[in-house]
Chain A
Amino acid sequence: MITIKVNGQDRQVNAPEDTPLLYVLRGELGVMSPKFGCGMAQCGACSVLLGDEEIRSCITPVSALEGKEVTTVEGLPARWARHSGSAAKDALHPVQDAWVAEQVPQCGICQFGMMIKVTELLEKNASPTDADIKEALTTSGPSPHLCRCGSYAAILDGAHRAARLMAGEVK
């Protein structure tokens, strides 16, 4: 049996060791925000944070994660509360707030991975340029983060707003 920390909680996993994290999260642990997109690390719909790094949960066997800490979109509010020291009830992570304020999603299936990737970026680079955001969502990982609806203009707006929110420049 493997133990991984998911969104701050230790969770025991019964699945066979070769099971990709995505199926463990969704099937066994009931953590549903990472989505199945391609199963080949080609799209980013299944992205989660492993520590501070974005990974593709669809190709990451759970055996590689013993004792590691996984954050999904469900865990972003608590992650922000830890980082910022504030813990307002029902508050979201600034990236999520920005996604609402900018009305980013169309169908939304890719946005869980997009928000994870942008969170990773903003924790390392507090005021990214357009080029930084595009680089993060295109060439920094195993594949670009794909949006079929074409919400890229909104994602760019969302990422910039999230940076300002995290810097406390806007509310």
Chain B
Amino acid sequence: MSADLNIHGASLSRRGFLATGGALIVAVSVKPGAATAAAGTTLDATAPASWIEIHADNTVHIRTGKCDFGQSSIYTAYRQIVAEELDMPMSAMTEVITGDTDRTPDGGGTFGLLRTNVLNLRKAAAYTRAAVLTLAAQKFGVAEASLSIKDGMISGGGKAASYGDIVRGGDFKLTIPVSGDLMSPRGLLVDGTPPLKKPSDYKIVGQPVMNPTIRPKIAGQMPYVGDIKLPGMLHARTIHPATLGSTLVAAGKVDKALYPGAQTVVIGNLLAVVSETEWEAVSAAQQVAGETKWTEWKGLPGHERLFDHLRKSVDWTVYPTRDGRANRGDPTAVATKKALKASYNVPYHKHAPIGPMVTLADVRADGSVTLHTISQNPQHLRGMIARMLDISAEKVVVRTYPGPGHFGRSNGGSAGTEDEAVLLSQALGRPVRLQWMRPDDMQWSTQSSAMVADIAITLDDAGRIATYEAEHRGPPMQDDRLVGALLAGKPVIPAPGAGVAYGFQGGELNIADAWVYGTVANVREQGFGTDQLGEKSSPTAVGLRDHSMRTPIQFQQNFPRESAISEAAALAGADPIQFRVDHVDSPRFKTILARLRDESGWVTRPSPAPTAKARGKAAVRGQGASIMLRDNGYWACAAHIAVIPETGEVKVERITLVADPGIIVNPLQLKRQVQAGCLMGVSQALHEEVMFDEGAVTSTDWSSYPILTIAEMPELRVIIAGDAEAGIYGQGSESANALAAPAIAAAFFDATGKPARRIPLRPDHVKAMLSA
């Protein structure tokens, strides 16, 4: 090949000839002159960082900077989508390399994996397929248009060759156009419009492919993040301040008689104990913690006053108001007789991984830094670590491993421990493995923001919604700053705030719950943001830090909206499912709502149930429904519950979930994702509320932050009926997480006649609702 070939805007070159082997690798080229093409946009040229590698033995390696957290899409759906686009068999997709900053090509956050993120690989595969066709046409001496590919064999003009045959002996490099900044929170995006396969031609997408990582994991053969060790490694425990805003007065001293191998490290307000052995570090940290003095700080309202505080004490005019995209008409100009006015509350939630965060950091004498950790955004973490140490990002490598799921907490890079481990390793000149204890993880990690909503719905004479108004208020839901760096007084990215343009650190509150009742003529939804609680008054700028979780903001806005719609249906004397059918405009919603009515054992009638009671020892039962639109996926849920009014106990007996999420890439994995995401939502509906006093989070363990047990699991019916023409790959865990809470709340209203306008439906809250 004498000159580079243009492949739909990508550039294909042969860098040389090889006596053995041969490969085609897909590299990146950032658009010259692009504003973002500054330092950090190019990959280390010495590292193999291709998206896709085609080898002479017909094997394919796939690389992505995203990380799998167990939902498996990267190991199942990504392989299927790449195999499909290449027209190669699944068996050829032999390796998937993920989330190591020195070995993977793109950055960005791990979320919505099948929404925008997989498009990078899909496009890279499409460019690759086109490049191989070009090479095959040269080899066969025929026109490209006469070639076809089936099961990895390219044929045309009476000749045939495999992908491996085409690349054998060559050292091909396909450079594809990308934009963005590798270490920005959003990472790189593949540009251009290579020819993509039509979904109607899919054969591999749609198959129930098994997750290849499960066997090595459950056999104990695949190391988890906490299992990584390095020679000379020290074990560390952080002793965090007494409150979120406390500063260090005097660090306690290690009792050397008891713990001869332990020592303290103090960096600003960051205090830690390290030892050669882990148990000595744990024990000595407890002893030192008891003798350490911190300043007092009171900057939080406490969880019991939280909703009052948000409603009465916050100035909501500081941040610009965000309007819903569906706003139309003028709700204030419509006069009607029947009206619902109601206020709804969602508390703070913890991501609450089963294992607290752990990082092994190795800062070497030459200033290079390697982190062994778990992260949903390793490249942005790498950038933040470099910023903290004021060194070039070229010196920082982040390696990631499987670990406890934390559901969005690190999609901006950090979930905790990474920065603290690095600072300790730098101070001590040895690798340091820092494991947070359970209370550290509960108290010093971020949480999903609390939000309040005021909703007004009016009905016309026919019982249809005439106007819908909603005001949603809450803190901003994303703070990616490194908390250990804040304590140590080291540089961090900007704090969330109004108008902050960095990453996801803006403070305005968007309307994230897509409007679905398209037949309503007058709609006004508004979002009001504020600062994180306590942050501005905290000497360390650490307040009650917020972060996205699973279905961020949409969860907090869908619960009030769907609860209010169920109450409005009652006001109209209408069946809650029929009321929704009458107000949506999407045929996809009408289809899944009809399916929900058929599959859930639904009794068509208005709420409350004729048997509804708010008193007594006997269980009362109810049904409730909710719907949601997310990522062009349509979801409907029915909950059947029992309530014992006298004790306030709520038992969820059955959840039926019907989803049309779009193209089903892998029905087996999607089912498991939906089941799990849904049950986590049941947990949030029944149990979860972060407790805190005026200075600190007081939910420190599983007894003060209980989650759902298997004994509380309802009968779970999941029906997935995807629209293959929807133009989006169906996702599971995120969406499924949000639906249970409003359906359960509506079932509570049906069972008792009393609305449930807050979660969790814990006995003390339930008794208060029933006596209201």
Q: Is B one of A's binding partners?
A: yes
Binding site for B on A (CB under 8 A): 15-16, 19-20, 23, 26-27, 32-33, 35-40, 42-43, 45, 72-74, 77, 92, 96, 99-100, 103-112, 115, 133-135, 137-139, 143-156
Q: Which single residue of chain A is at the shortest CB-CB distance from B217?
A: A108
Residues A32 and B675 in contact, CB atoms below 8 Å apart: no
Residue B318 interfacial (CB < 8 Å): no
Q: Which residues of B contact A (CB under 8 A)?
A: 69-72, 210-211, 214-215, 217-220, 223-224, 226-227, 235, 277-279, 282, 352-356, 358, 402-405, 407, 435, 437-438, 668-669, 672-673, 675-680, 682-683, 701-703, 707-711, 713, 716, 733
Chain B residues with CB under 8 Å of A115's CB are 218
Majority secondary structure of chain A interface residues (helix, strand, loop or mixed)? loop
* A146 and B279 in contact, given A100-B218, A105-B218 (Cβ under 8 angstroms): no
Contact check, B710 vs A134: say whether CB atoms are below 8 A apart.
Answer: yes
Known: A32-B220, A108-B70, A149-B70. A143 touches B708 (CB 8 A): no
Cα-based distance from A111 to B404 in the complex (angstroms): 11
| Alpha-carbon gap, A109 to B226, bound state (A) | 10
CB < 8 Å: which of B405, B710, B711 contacts A107?
B405
Which one, B211, B356, B679, B711, contacts A150 given CB within 8 A? B679
Establish whether residues B710 and A42, one from each chain, have CB atoms under 8 Å apart when the complex forms.
Answer: no
Q: How far is the CA of A26 from the CA of B716 in the complex (A)?
A: 37
Nearest B-chain residue to A111, judged by Cβ? B218
Kindly list chain B residues whose C-beta atoms are within 8 Å of the C-beta of A105.
70, 214, 217-218
Instruction: Write out the residue numbers on chain A whose beta carbons fall within 8 Å of the beta carbon of B69.
Output: 106-107
Residues of A within 8 A of B214 (CB): 99-100, 103-105, 108
Measured between beta carbons, the chain A residues less than 8 angstroms from B219 are 73, 77, 92, 96
User: A110: nearest residue on chain B (CB-CB)?
Assistant: B354
B355→A42 contact, CB < 8 A: no
B226 CB, min distance to chain A CBs, angstroms:
6
Instruction: Report the nearest B residue to A44, measured CB to CB.
Output: B354
Contact of B711 among A42, A99, A111, A135 (CB under 8 A): A135
Q: Which residues from chain A contact B403 at a C-beta distance below 8 Å?
A: 107, 109
Cα separation A139 to B711 with both chains bound (whole Å): 9
Residues of B within 8 A of A36 (CB): 226, 355-356, 358, 435
Contact status B354-A99, CB under 8 Å: no
- Give 7 pairs: A residue, B residue, CB < 8 Å, sorted on A: A35-B224, A73-B219, A100-B210, A109-B355, A146-B702, A150-B675, A150-B680
- Complex Cα–Cα for A110 and B710 (A): 13
Q: Give complex CA distance A27, B282 in Å.
A: 13
- A32-B227, A105-B217 known; A138 and B711 CB under 8 Å? yes
Contacting residue for A144 out of B72, B278, B711, CB 8 A: B711
Q: How far is the CA of A113 from the CA of B754 in the complex (A)?
A: 41
Flag if A37 contacts B355 (CB, 8 Å): yes
Taken together as a complex, chains A and B put the C-alpha atoms of A72 and B219 apart, in Å, by: 11
Chain A positions within 8 Å of B676 at CB level: 106, 149-151, 153-154
Assess whether A35 is in contact with B211, with CB atoms less than 8 Å apart. Answer: no
| B220–A152 touching, CB < 8 Å | no
Complex Cα distance A39/B437, Å?
8
Q: For residue B436, which residue of chain A has the nearest CB?
A: A36
Residues of B near A151 (CB, < 8 A) are 672, 675-676, 679
CB <8 Å contact, B279 and A16? yes
**Once the chains bind, are A42 and B703 in contact (CB under 8 Å)?**
yes
Complex-state Cα separation, A155 to B676, whole angstroms = 11
| Distance of A56 Cα from B350 Cα, bound (Å) | 24
Is A156 in contact with B220, judged by CB distance below 8 angstroms?
no
By a CB distance below 8 angstroms, the chain B residues around A96 are 218-219
Provide the bound-state CA to CA distance between A37 and B707, in Å.
Answer: 14
Considering residues A27, A72, A107, A154, which has the most beta carbons from chain B within 10 angstroms of its beta carbon?
Answer: A107
A138 to B702 alpha-carbon distance, docked (Å): 14
Q: Which A residue sits closest to B405, measured CB to CB?
A: A107
Q: How far is the CA of A153 from the CA of B710 in the complex (A)?
A: 8
User: In the bound complex, do residue A108 and residue B355 qualify as a contact, i.e. CB atoms below 8 Å apart?
Assistant: no
Does the CB pair A149–B218 fall under 8 Å? no
Q: How far is the CB of B46 from chain A (nearest CB, A)?
A: 32
Known contacts: A134-B710, A144-B709, A146-B707. The answer to whether A27 contacts B279 by CB under 8 A is: yes
A137 touches B710 (CB 8 A): yes
Cβ of A148 and Cβ of B220 under 8 Å apart?
A: no
- New contact pairs (18) apart from A32-B227, A106-B70, CB-CB < 8 Å: A26-B227, A32-B224, A36-B356, A36-B435, A37-B438, A42-B703, A77-B219, A92-B219, A106-B676, A107-B69, A107-B403, A109-B403, A137-B710, A138-B710, A146-B707, A150-B676, A150-B708, A151-B675
Across the interface, which residues of A come within 8 angstroms of B282, CB to CB?
23, 39
Residue of B nearest to A74 (CB): B220
- Known A-B contacts A100-B214, A149-B680; the reply to A107 vs B707 at CB < 8 A is no
Contacts of B679 in A (CB 8 A): 150-153
Among A92, A139, A149, max chain B CB count under 10 A is at A149
The distance from the CB of A117 to the nearest CB of chain B, in whole angstroms, is 10
Q: Which residues of B contact A27 (CB under 8 A)?
A: 235, 277-279
A38 CB, min distance to chain B CBs, angstroms: 5
Per the bound structure, the CA–CA distance linking A12 and B537 in Å amounts to 53
Residues of B close to A35: CB separation below 8 A: 224, 226, 354-355
Residues of B within 8 A of A138 (CB): 709-711
Q: How many angstroms between the C-alpha atoms of A93 and B746 in the bound complex?
A: 44
Contact B713 A40 (CB under 8 A): no
A96 to B711, CA, bound (A): 22
Given A74, A143, A153, A156, which contacts B702 in the complex, CB threshold below 8 Å?
A: A143
Residue of A42, A143, A151, A155 with most chain B CB atoms under a 10 A cut-off: A151
A90 to B631, CA, bound (A): 42
Which residues of chain B come closer than 8 Å to A145, judged between CB atoms? 710
Highest count of chain A CB atoms <10 Å: which of B224, B355, B733: B355
> With the chains together, A125 CA to B628 CA distance in Å?
43
Establish whether residues B711 and A112, one from each chain, have CB atoms under 8 Å apart when the complex forms: no
Complex CA gap A144/B709 in Å reads 7
B736 and chain A: residue at smallest CB distance: A150
Q: Which residue of A lies closest to B668 (CB)?
A: A103
Q: Are A153 and B716 in contact (CB under 8 A)?
A: yes
Q: A32-B224, A74-B220, A105-B214 given as contacts; is B278 within 8 A of A146 (CB)?
A: no
B353 near A148 (CB under 8 angstroms)? Answer: yes
B702 / chain A contacts, CB cutoff of 8 Å: 38, 40, 42-43, 143, 146
Task: Specify which chain B residues have a CB less than 8 angstroms from the CB of A42 in the assembled complex.
Answer: 438, 701-703
Question: Which residues does chain B contribute within 8 Å of A19, judged by CB atoms?
Answer: 279
Chain A residues with Cβ under 8 A from B358's Cβ?
36
Are B218's CB and A20's CB within 8 A? no
Q: How far is the CA of A168 from the CA of B301 in the complex (A)?
A: 59
Q: Are B355 and A45 in contact (CB under 8 A)?
A: yes
In the complex the two chains form, what is the Cα distance from A43 to B703 in whole Å? 10
Report the separation of the CA atoms of residues A35 and B358 in the bound assembly, to the nearest whole angstrom: 12
Residues of B within 8 A of A150 (CB): 675-680, 682-683, 708
> Is the Cβ of B713 less than 8 Å from the Cβ of A153?
yes
Q: Tell whether A106 pairs with B405 under 8 Å between CB atoms, given A35-B224, A149-B70.
A: yes
Q: How many angstroms from the CA of A139 to the CA of B438 in the assembled complex?
A: 22
Nearest A residue to B737 via CB reads A150
Chain B residues with Cβ below 8 Å from A135 are: 711
Interchain nearest-CB distance for B217 vs A (Å)? 5
Which of B218, B353, B402, B733 gathers the greatest number of chain A CB atoms within 10 Å? B218
| B279 lies within 8 A of A148 (CB) | no
Q: Are A109 and B224 in contact (CB under 8 A)?
A: yes
Complex contacts, B678 vs chain A, CB 8 Å = 150
Known: A32-B220, A74-B220. A149 touches B710 (CB 8 A): no
Give Cα A99 to B217, complex, Å: 10
- Contact residues in A for B226 (Cβ distance below 8 Å): 35-36
CB-defined contacts of B402 to chain A, threshold 8 Å: 107-108
Instruction: Tell whether, in the assembled complex, residue B710 and residue A155 are in contact, meaning their CB atoms are under 8 Å apart.
Output: yes
Assess A152 versus B710: contact at CB under 8 Å? Given A73-B220, A109-B403: yes
**In the complex, how many angstroms separate the beta carbon of B247 from the nearest chain A beta carbon?**
27
With CB as the reference atom, state the residue of chain A lying closest to B69: A107
Residues of B within 8 A of A109 (CB): 224, 353-355, 403-405
Lowest 4 A-B CB distances belong to which pairs? A150-B679, A107-B405, A107-B70, A150-B676
User: Closest Cβ of chain B: how far from A58's Cβ, in Å?
Assistant: 10
